[in-house]
Structure 1
Amino acid sequence: MGSKIKLGILGGGGDSLIGVLHRVASNMFDQYEIVGGVFNPNWEENIGFAKKLDLPLSRIYADFESLISEEIKLPDNERMQVVSILTPNFLHFPMAKKLLENGFNIICEKPLTTTYEEALELQKIQELTKTVFAVTYTYTGYPMVRQMRKIIASGQLGKIHKVDVQYYQGWINPIIHDAEKRASTWRLQPDKSGISCCIGDIGTHAFDMIEFVTGLKISKVLADLNYLYDDNLMDIDGTVLIRCGNGAKGVIRASQIATGEENSIIVKVYGEKAGLKWEQENPNYLYKLEDGEPLKVLKPGNVYNSDLSLDGSKLPPGHPEGIFDAMGNIYKGVARAIKGEPYDSGEFPTITDGVRGMNFIEQAVASNAEGNVWKEID
């Protein structure tokens, strides 16, 4: 068997941003070989895209059922070992379920499914099959986010008492005010996206980020969501108060109508001894704040960083790394897991993170619908 892991891809064809991100990430550390997949439900576009990637057309399939049935016929040293699911949300569950049942490892875009019940079902199957299952909360792959995790775990902040995560975008603003456009956008259609747009798409990133960097579990949420128009069935903006298991409180602020914003993720964690602040649009700077001390700026690639952070840095200090590198770090961690090599628990989000994300989405929507009340996270 060759040293590279054989990777199949579902979705992500054409000009898909997420498709490019995953393909580049998979190639970054020479751990994977893309061998085929289903890039588009339209056969001509599917084949055309595969030709652009110079993939063997014998491994390009009409649908995911065909991919599974044909791949399992191949010898172990030829078949796909892991499949990346990059499709619209409503396809995640049926694809992941059948892949798991046939022993494939999975890398899945978030949100994991469209319902918490589906997510729990996938988790049960994954536990039985003991396959590797990663959910791409991509921003956890940044070296300085990983450094935040290690600093907090080391106790340098003391007891955490305040968390504040913002995720602001403006992309849906030109769409939401046009009745025809908002009716034809798949992210605003519950049958394709699930019950939430903003909280499901980006709020879940903020939820996972808090639990990733602090090591705390969010236990309760109170949400106030914004739909703007009566005929719009999905939230496009929201504020969620949170309570953590250790008594810490905080807020998740998510919006897709923050006019002019691009991808503004800001993570702030405050403890009794110090605070940390990180911004995704300037990802190579981690700020440490202490009373009576000058502001400290930590950067990737330096020897003062943790092993987890340094493992996610490919270049010497002063050479910027970005979103492709963050996703590449997740793929690298998954490769280690598939190969049975030792890896840090912070190297990639697991199906458990995906399940908690779905629990959060449903409870946030329920909190808003029931008059902005506190709801518990399992």
Structure 2
Amino acid sequence: MSNKIRLGILGGGGDSLIGILHRIASSMYDKYEIVGGVFNPVWEENIGFANQIGLPTNRIYVDFDKMIEEELKLPVSERMQVVSILTPNFLHFPMANKLLENGFNVICEKPMTTSYDEAKILQETLKKANTVFAVTYTYTGYPMIRQMRQMIADGVIGNVQKIDAQYYQGWINPVIHDDELRANTWRLDPEKGGISCCIGDIGTHAFDMLEYVSQLRIKSVLADLNFVYEDNQMDVDGTVLLRTENGVKGVICTSQIATGEENNFIVKIYGEKAGLKWEQENPNYLYLMQDGEPLRVLKPGHSYNSEISLDGTKLPPGHPEGIFDSMANIYKGVAKAVNGEKYDHGEFPTMIDGVRGMSFIEKVVESHQKGNIWVEI
């Protein structure tokens, strides 16, 4: 019998980008084997997709509840060990909560839930379950982001003076200006997406990333959000000022109506001695900037990088690694935790990241609604 971790998947069927990303990532280090799940609520599409990707259909279930029921009938040595939740946002909480209650380890897409209250409930459920829970803030898996985190922790740039993240996309621009599309896109539906679109979808990536690399906790926010049309209930653009617990200030600029932009995520941390900059569209370059010195460029795979960076590098220097590799490093970290192996706490985002992300979303919306005032997280 295979000694790989038995993985179940919820959602992510058809041409879902997230589905492809998770399936490929889970296979990269030969740690997981997909054994079943529910890829689509429509049975014909669900079973058809399983056939398409070559999965045995005996553990493809008609719905989530049936999956739990049938998996629990199996011996512990055969049932799913980890379940990945790749569904629309409103399903994250009920699925994750029930999985934890029944002893499963969980990998959940972000945002973790649709409200902070749900996130707190989930946190309590996890404490009782004592299983592994990861939230896929995917970009934390990049080797050079992990190098950035370690360099800041080692004092290479000195005391942090400013934190800055920009995340610009343009995909919703044609949607927002079309009445019919605007009314029928699930990310613009509060019942399915929660209280925020742009901040909930990509702003949380920026928030988690700044806390991850700087290891500073953001204490308060002041937000100004943009909805474009009065009948649109969900933000599609926003700017958030930040204050950390130790007084460092910063900013998050996010947009999904930045016309022509693809996935322009930039992270910048400035210290008293130097600055570090990373760009998601060129993820293999970490820029070290110092006054009076030439710009230095660090790349993955070299011996000058940190242990956690090298552990997440699969190829020799000069061979580009990308988003599949980044997600794979998160799956690798979860595998270590599930198998009881030693791992670095920076190897995958946890429940704490998910809870703080939900608090961030709600406080940003509150700040905007109250007239752009400072609100504590």
* Interval containing the TM-score (normalised by the shorter chain): over 0.9
**Counterpart residue number, 2:303:** 303
Partner SS state of residue 146, structure 1: helix
* Distance (Å, rounded) in 1 between the aligned partners of 2:3 and 2:153: 34
Q: Deviations over 1:14-37 (max 9, x none)?
A: 000000000000000000000000
* Distance (Å, rounded) in 2 between the aligned partners of 1:185 and 1:193: 10
Give ranges in structure 2 of 5+ residues lacking alignment.
none
Query: Could you state the TM-score of these two structures normalised by the residue count of structure 2?
Result: 0.99
Partner SS state of residue 41, structure 1: coil
* Distance (Å, rounded) in 2 between the aligned partners of 1:159 and 1:117: 35
Partner SS state of residue 111, structure 1: coil
* Distance (Å, rounded) in 1 between the aligned partners of 2:79 and 2:351: 23
**Counterpart residue number, 1:312:** 312
Partner SS state of residue 34, structure 2: strand
Give the total of aligned pairs: 377
**Counterpart residue number, 1:131:** 131
Q: Is 1:27 aligned to 2:27, yes or no?
A: yes
Runs of at least 4 residues of structure 1 off by over 2 A? none
* Distance (Å, rounded) in 1 between the aligned partners of 2:175 and 2:88: 18
Q: Deviations over 1:141-199 (max 9, x none)?
A: 00000000000000111111101100000000000001111000000000000000000
User: How far off its partner does 1:9 sit?
Assistant: 0.1
Percent of aligned pairs with the same residue?
Answer: 73
Partner SS state of residue 239, structure 1: strand
* Distance (Å, rounded) in 2 between the aligned partners of 1:74 and 1:54: 22
User: How far off its partner does 1:112 sit?
Assistant: 0.2
**Counterpart residue number, 2:191:** 191
Where does 1:139-154 land on structure 2 (aligned, <5 Å)? 139-154=139-154
Where does 1:90-239 land on structure 2 (aligned, <5 Å)? 90-239=90-239
Partner SS state of residue 10, structure 2: strand
One-letter code of the match for 1:98?
K
Partner SS state of residue 242, structure 1: strand
* Distance (Å, rounded) in 1 between the aligned partners of 2:243 and 2:196: 21
Partner SS state of residue 221, structure 2: strand
* Distance (Å, rounded) in 1 between the aligned partners of 2:63 and 2:281: 37
Partner SS state of residue 288, structure 2: strand
* Distance (Å, rounded) in 2 between the aligned partners of 1:153 and 1:332: 23
* Distance (Å, rounded) in 2 between the aligned partners of 1:128 and 1:206: 30
**Counterpart residue number, 2:37:** 37
* Distance (Å, rounded) in 1 between the aligned partners of 2:6 and 2:270: 43
* Distance (Å, rounded) in 2 between the aligned partners of 1:256 and 1:54: 35
Q: Is 1:366 aligned to 2:350, yes or no?
A: no
* Distance (Å, rounded) in 2 between the aligned partners of 1:203 and 1:162: 18
Query: Mean Cα displacement is larger for which, 52-61 or 228-237?
Result: 52-61
Give ranges in structure 1 of 5+ residues lacking alignment.
none
Q: Is 1:245 aligned to 2:245, yes or no?
A: yes
Q: Deviations over 1:294-348 (max 9, x none)?
A: 1110000000000000011100000000000000000000000000000011100
One-letter code of the match for 1:115?
S
Q: Deviations over 1:211-266 (max 9, x none)?
A: 00000000000000000000000000000000011211000000000000000000
